[in-house]
Amino acid sequence: MFGIKKRRRERLMRQPFPPEWTAILGRMVPYYGILPPADQAELRGLMQVFLAEKHFEGCEGVEITDEIRVTIAAQACILLLHRETDIYPLLQSVLVYPDAYFAPVRRREPGGFISEEIEDRSGESWSIGALVLSWKDVVLDSSDIHDGYNVVFHEFAHQLDDEAGRADGAPPLPKRSMYADWERVLGDEYDRLVENVERRRPTFLDPYGATNPAEFFAVITEYFFEKSRELKLFHPELYEQLRLYYRQDPASRAEARGGSDSSKA
C-alpha cells in the first residue's frame, strides 16, 4: 500500500504545473518569489500532491476556487520543503470561512470550574481531520511576508505538532538525538516569554506564544519564516533549532538577497 501511494505521489509531482496556478502564486503568494528556483520546483511538486489529496470546503457562502486552494496549499507546503514528510497525514479537509468566525471555547478555571465563551478566530487546527481558516486573514497575511504573522504557517505548524500524538510544542524530529536540545532550548525560551508577559515586559516574540507550548511552536514558526534575521539575532539558539527541524535557513537566504526581513526591529 505504501509503495502504491509513493508511486502515485511521484506521478503527481511529475505532472505539468498548470500555468494558471503559477500565475496565482505570483499574484497571491509573495513568499514563493523569494525562494530559489530549486525550492520553487520542489514546492510545486508538493502542492500537486496536497491539492490532489486534501478536500477544501467553503463555509458561510465561500465558493472554493483555484485561487483559494493554491494560495493555501503553497504556504502549507513551504513548511515541508527539504524534509521527509507524509504531507500532513492527519489532515483530510480544509474549511474556509470568508472572514473571522466565531467558535465556542471551554476553559478550566482555578478551582476546577469549566467556563464557556464564544471567541472570534482567524484559524484553528483540529488534531485529526480538519483545519479551519479565514480567507480574509489568509490574503492579508500572505501579502506581507515580513510582519511575522501568517495564519497558514501557524495552523499548519499545529498539524506538524499533532503528528507526535499530541500538540505540545514538540513535533516529530528527524533524529532522536535532537530531542534533548529541542526540549532545553524551547523550554527555556517559552518559560522566559511567559515570565516576560506576566511581568508586562516588552517582547520580540508575539505574547500569544506564551499561551502554551503548542502555541509557542506555532508562533515561532511564523517568525522563523517571516522575521528570520531578527529571530536569529535576538534568539539564536531558538533559530538554530528551527533551522535543523525545518531544514531551511531563511535568514541566510535573506542575507544573500542583501535585504532585511523587516523594517521593524
Q: How would you write the pLDDT of the chain (265 residues) with one tens digit per residue?
A: 568 999 999 999 999 999 999 999 999 999 999 999 999 999 999 999 999 999 999 999 999 999 999 999 999 999 999 999 999 999 999 999 999 998 777 666 566 667 677 778 899 999 889 999 999 999 999 999 999 999 999 999 999 999 998 889 999 999 999 999 999 999 999 999 999 999 999 999 999 999 999 999 999 999 999 999 999 999 999 999 999 999 999 999 988 877 444 433 2
Residues 242/181, Cβ–Cβ less than 8 Å: no
**Beta strand extents in the chain (DSSP E only):** 55-58, 91-97, 101-108, 114-121, 123-125, 129-134
The helix/strand/coil state of 243 is helix
| Structure confidence at residue 260 (pLDDT) | 44
Give how far the C-alpha of residue 5 lies from the chain's centroid of Cα atoms, to the nearest Å.
Answer: 25
| Structure confidence at residue 265 (pLDDT) | 28
Query: What span, in angstroms and rounded, lies between the C-alpha atoms of 30 and 144?
Result: 8
262: buried, middle or exposed (CB in 10 Å: 19+, 13-18, 0-12)?
Answer: middle
Q: Enumerate residues 6+ apart whose C-beta is below 8 A from 69.
A: 51, 56
| Structure confidence at residue 119 (pLDDT) | 79
pTM above threshold 0.85: yes
Give all domains of the chain, ordered by start, each with its CATH number: 1-163 (1.10.472.150), 166-265 (3.40.390.10)
Q: How many other CB atoms are there within 10 angstroms of residue 247's CB atom? A: 13
Query: What span, in angstroms and rounded, lies between the C-alpha atoms of 249 and 255?
Result: 10
Q: Which amino acid is at 111?
A: G
